[in-house]
Structure 1
Amino acid sequence: MFPTGFVIINYLLRRGVKSTLHGVLLAILTGLFAASATAHEVRPAIGDVEVTQDAVRLDLRLALEGLVAGIDLAGLDDTDNSPLSGYYDQLRALPPADLETAFNDIWPAIKDGIRIEVDGAEIEPSLGDVQIPEVGDTDIARDSVLTLTAQLPDGDAPVMIGWNATYGPLVLRQVGEGDALYTGYLEGGQMSDPLPREGVAELGALQEFGRYVVLGFEHIVPKGLDHILFVLGLFFFSLHLRPLLWQVTAFTVAHTVTLALATLKIVTISPEIVEPLIAASIVYIAVENVLGGQMNMRRIVVIFAFGLLHGLGFASVLGEIGMNPSRLIADLVAFNIGVELGQLAVILAAFLLVGIWFAKKDWYRAVIAIPASVIIGLIGFWWFVERTIL
Structure 2
Amino acid sequence: MLTSAFRSPAAARWWTLLLTFAALALLFASEALAHNVAEGDKGYIQESSGVLLLPFIYLGAKHMVTGYDHLLFLFGVIFFLYRMKDIGLYVTLFAVGHSTTLLFGVLTGISANAYVIDAIIGLSVVYKALDNLGAFQRWFGVQPNTKVATLVFGFFHGFGLATKIIEFDISKDGLIPNLLAFNVGVEIGQLLALTAILIIMGFWRRTPGFIRHAFTANVILMTAGFVLVGYQLTGFLSA
Q: Normalising by structure 2, report the TM-score.
A: 0.72
- Aligned residue for 1:325, secondary structure, equals coil
Larger radius of gyration: 1
Report Cα offsets for 1:271-291 as digits up to 9, x if no partner: 132011000011001111121
- Aligned residue for 1:264, secondary structure, equals helix
In the aligned structure 2, how far is the partner of 1:242 from the partner of 1:370?
A: 25
- Aligned residue for 1:237, secondary structure, equals coil
Report Cα offsets for 1:268-325 as digits up to 9, x if no partner: 222132011000011001111121889x981111111101100011213422444342
| One-letter code aligned to 1:298 | N
Pick one of 165, 178, 184 that aligns with 1:331.
178
Pick one of 342, 353, 358 that aligns with 2:200.
353
Superposed counterparts of 1:167-316, under 5 Å: 168-169=39-40, 171-172=42-43, 183-184=47-48, 205=51, 208-222=52-66, 224-265=67-108, 267-291=110-134, 298-316=145-163
The answer as to whether partners of 1:279 and 1:380 remain within 8 angstroms in 2 is: yes
The answer as to whether partners of 1:255 and 1:308 remain within 8 angstroms in 2 is: yes
Greater share of residues in strand: 1
- Aligned residue for 1:274, secondary structure, equals helix
The answer as to whether partners of 2:56 and 2:185 remain within 8 angstroms in 1 is: yes
**Percent pairwise identity:** 28
How far off its partner does 1:168 sit?
Answer: 4.5
Inter-CA distance 171–306: structure 2 relative to 1 (3 Å threshold)? closer
In the aligned structure 1, how far is the partner of 2:163 from the partner of 2:57?
A: 16
How far off its partner does 1:239 sit?
Answer: 2.5
The answer as to whether partners of 2:119 and 2:233 remain within 8 angstroms in 1 is: yes
| One-letter code aligned to 1:331 | N
Inter-CA distance 360–240: structure 2 relative to 1 (3 Å threshold)? farther
Inter-CA distance 168–226: structure 2 relative to 1 (3 Å threshold)? same
In the aligned structure 2, how far is the partner of 1:217 from the partner of 1:293?
A: 34
In the aligned structure 2, how far is the partner of 1:378 from the partner of 1:218?
A: 25
In the aligned structure 2, how far is the partner of 1:171 from the partner of 1:387?
A: 20
Q: Normalising by structure 1, report the TM-score.
A: 0.46
Gaps of 5+ in 2: 8-28, 33-37, 138-142
Of structures 1 and 2, the one with the larger relative CO (CA 8 A, separation 6+) is 2
In the aligned structure 2, how far is the partner of 1:272 from the partner of 1:168?
A: 18
Counterpart of 2:10? none
Report Cα offsets for 1:23-77 as digits up to 9, x if no partner: xxxxxxxxxxxxxxxxxxxxxxxxxxxxxxxxxxxxxxxxxxxxxxxxxxxxx85
Inter-CA distance 261–353: structure 2 relative to 1 (3 Å threshold)? same
In the aligned structure 2, how far is the partner of 1:359 from the partner of 1:293?
A: 24
How far off its partner does 1:256 sit?
Answer: 0.9
In the aligned structure 1, how far is the partner of 2:200 from the partner of 2:136?
A: 24
Greater share of residues in helix: 2
| One-letter code aligned to 2:58 | V
Q: How many residues align?
A: 201
The answer as to whether partners of 1:278 and 1:309 remain within 8 angstroms in 2 is: yes
How far off its partner does 1:267 sit?
Answer: 3.0
The answer as to whether partners of 1:235 and 1:347 remain within 8 angstroms in 2 is: no
Report Cα offsets for 1:125-164 as digits up to 9, x if no partner: xxxxxxxxxxxxxxxxxxxxxxxxxxxxxxxxxxxxxxxx
Inter-CA distance 331–314: structure 2 relative to 1 (3 Å threshold)? same
In the aligned structure 1, how far is the partner of 2:231 from the partner of 2:193?
A: 25
Gaps of 5+ in 1: 1-8, 15-75, 80-166, 174-180, 185-201
Counterpart of 1:20? none
In the aligned structure 1, how far is the partner of 2:30 from the partner of 2:229?
A: 17
In the aligned structure 2, how far is the partner of 1:261 from the partner of 1:332?
A: 10
| One-letter code aligned to 1:218 | K
How far off its partner does 1:364 sit?
Answer: 2.6
Superposed counterparts of 1:91-240, under 5 Å: 168-169=39-40, 171-172=42-43, 183-184=47-48, 205=51, 208-222=52-66, 224-240=67-83
The answer as to whether partners of 1:239 and 1:359 remain within 8 angstroms in 2 is: no
In the aligned structure 1, how far is the partner of 2:204 from the partner of 2:136?
A: 21
Counterpart of 1:51? none
How far off its partner does 1:371 sit?
Answer: 2.4
Runs of 4+ in 1 over 6 A off after TM superposition: none
- Aligned residue for 2:47, secondary structure, equals strand
- Aligned residue for 1:302, secondary structure, equals helix
Counterpart of 2:220? 375
